[in-house]
Amino acid sequence: MSEKTLPITYSFGVVAGLGALLFIFAVSVRRFHDLDKSGWWAALTLVPVVGWLVIIVWCGFVRGVVGRNSFGPDPFDQVLPKRPIIKNRLSIALCGAVALLAIGSVAILLFGFEETGARLDRLSSLSIETTKRVENSGIDWRELARKSEAVTGDAEAYCSRTIIRDYMLEEPKPADDIISQWRTDFVRPDRWHVTQQMWDPELGDLWDEWVSIGGENYQNAGLWTLTEPGQNDLLNQSLSIGSMIEFLNLVPDALGVYSQEGTQYLLLEYSISDFRNNPLFAVCEDVGCQVQVWIQTASGFVVKGSLQSNDSSVHIDQMYTCFNEPVEVVPPPWLNATLDSVGTLRITNTKIPVVPHYP
């Protein structure tokens, strides 16, 4: 599972930014030579803000040394051939384009990339209490729900986090009331990488992970093993976004458009007692529950689903992000144990895997 996903736009920004940085570095070296200073001063281009300001002032507004210096003659003393005005304008346009590319690339590098964990944290805070209701939004909820069903259901990949909180636990209990959580990467059609955290009153948080690819299932509970085919299929499906997409075909009991940090969401609310064979929802089977489905209005993607039991004892949140980004799900790099022909587990590799604590 990749803690970071790298969007195509970000990858382009990295390449473009490095190219622009080399261009700026080369030009800066020449300007520092004009100032009779070592070209190493151009390394200030690597220092954010302060270094950039120094480069802009020295290289853009300070006249070079008059006359010859240790790096050669004064460029203003040389007689240069006249160039057609059209070529001069093309040169200026080219330099301007490179400068804009550099600024844009730096902006992408600094502000345009957000780690998967940070995205999921932001979506986790999404609620009626943390948003502002938008009146008269003009959004047709039926049309948006149909769009959401299509674009979300057809997503080639996404990342998610599922959290279960139990507010009725006896002491001792975790400070955040989280008894289970799963961090999932999914790639269509059937590639899953799941890290699981389960809380135990005596042992605390217990971690394990698995990778499911087609009919193969690799399990890491201290050792990487190839287990029975389809062992985690039911839980994988429960963690999928499909359980929330199903609600989009129902008429909500309440709905509204809400805004948070400049992003608008359509909230659909349902009261349910039919749990559609989802084992996660079954924790509310005896009392019923309230479900919220949050749709980002601009993209149409379902970004969060929340379920709360009617007795307020259990709360489940599922957050989704990184839709159609290059999420990677691959088999583990090695197996520690395999089953022989008679079903006996044989240790084949003593390298100890570490279950990553993904955010």
Together in a domain, 139 and 244: yes
CATH code assigned at 142: 2.50.20.20
Q: Cβ–Cβ contacts within 10 Å for residue 297, how many?
A: 20
Mean per-residue pLDDT, 279-295: 81
Three-state DSSP class for residue 212: strand
Q: Cβ–Cβ contacts within 10 Å for residue 20, how many?
A: 20
Mean per-residue pLDDT, 253-273: 94
Together in a domain, 320 and 213: yes
- The pLDDT value recorded for residue 1 is 41
Three-state DSSP class for residue 94: helix
Q: Contact at 8 Å (CB) between 210 and 194?
A: yes
- Residue 300's contacts (CB-CB under 8 Å, 6 or more residues apart) are 144, 147, 148, 150, 151, 152
Mean per-residue pLDDT, 8-17: 52
Q: Contact at 8 Å (CB) between 162 and 316?
A: yes
Per the domain annotation, does 187 fall within a domain?
yes
Please tell me the distance from the alpha carbon of residue 78 to that of residue 38, in angstroms, as a whole number: 22
pLDDT tens, position by position, 245-259: 989 999 999 999 999
Together in a domain, 159 and 212: yes
Together in a domain, 61 and 168: no
Which of 93, 111, 129 corresponds to the end of one domain? 111
Mean per-residue pLDDT, 228-251: 90
More confident residue, 176 or 290: 290
pLDDT band at 2 (very low <50, low <70, confident <90, very high): very low
- The pLDDT value recorded for residue 25 is 73
Together in a domain, 170 and 284: yes
The mean-pLDDT minimum among 110-114, 116-120, 175-179, 299-303 falls in: 110-114
pLDDT tens, position by position, 308-323: 998 888 899 999 999 9
- The pLDDT value recorded for residue 274 is 66
Pairing mode, if any, of strands 314-321 and 302-309? antiparallel
Together in a domain, 249 and 321: yes
More confident residue, 23 or 153: 153
Which of 73, 91, 111 corresponds to the end of one domain? 111
Per the domain annotation, does 358 fall within a domain?
no
Together in a domain, 169 and 107: no
The mean-pLDDT minimum among 143-147, 234-238, 295-299 falls in: 234-238
Note down the domain range covering 86: 8-111
- The pLDDT value recorded for residue 114 is 63
Together in a domain, 56 and 145: no
The answer to whether residue 28 scores a pLDDT higher than 90 is no
- The pLDDT value recorded for residue 307 is 92
Together in a domain, 62 and 78: yes
Mean per-residue pLDDT, 257-267: 96
Three-state DSSP class for residue 90: helix
Mean per-residue pLDDT, 211-234: 88
Per the domain annotation, does 23 fall within a domain?
yes
Q: Sort 342 into a burial class: Cβ within 10 Å, 0-12 / 13-18 / 19+.
A: exposed
The mean-pLDDT minimum among 5-9, 98-102, 159-163, 197-201 falls in: 5-9
Q: What is the mean pLDDT of the chain?
A: 80
More confident residue, 347 or 114: 347
Angle (deg, nearest 10), helices 8-34 and 50-61:
50
The answer to whether residue 352 scores a pLDDT higher than 50 is yes
Together in a domain, 132 and 265: yes
Mean per-residue pLDDT, 14-36: 72
- The pLDDT value recorded for residue 350 is 65
CA-nearest of 123, 150, 141 to 256 is 141
Per the domain annotation, does 355 fall within a domain?
no
pTM for the predicted model, two decimal places = 0.69
pLDDT tens, position by position, 123-138: 999 999 999 999 988 9
Q: Contact at 8 Å (CB) between 192 and 208?
A: no
Together in a domain, 243 and 104: no
Per the domain annotation, does 267 fall within a domain?
yes
pLDDT band at 358 (very low <50, low <70, confident <90, very high): very low
CA-nearest of 146, 133, 105 to 23 is 105
Per the domain annotation, does 3 fall within a domain?
no
Mean per-residue pLDDT, 105-109: 47
Three-state DSSP class for residue 253: coil
- The pLDDT value recorded for residue 279 is 67
Per the domain annotation, does 357 fall within a domain?
no
Instruction: State the total domains in the chain.
Output: 2
pLDDT band at 3 (very low <50, low <70, confident <90, very high): very low
Per the domain annotation, does 333 fall within a domain?
yes
Which of 81, 111, 141 corresponds to the end of one domain? 111
- Residue 323's contacts (CB-CB under 8 Å, 6 or more residues apart) are 151, 152, 155, 157, 158, 299, 301
pLDDT band at 155 (very low <50, low <70, confident <90, very high): very high
Together in a domain, 122 and 105: no
CA-nearest of 231, 191, 182, 187 to 212 is 191
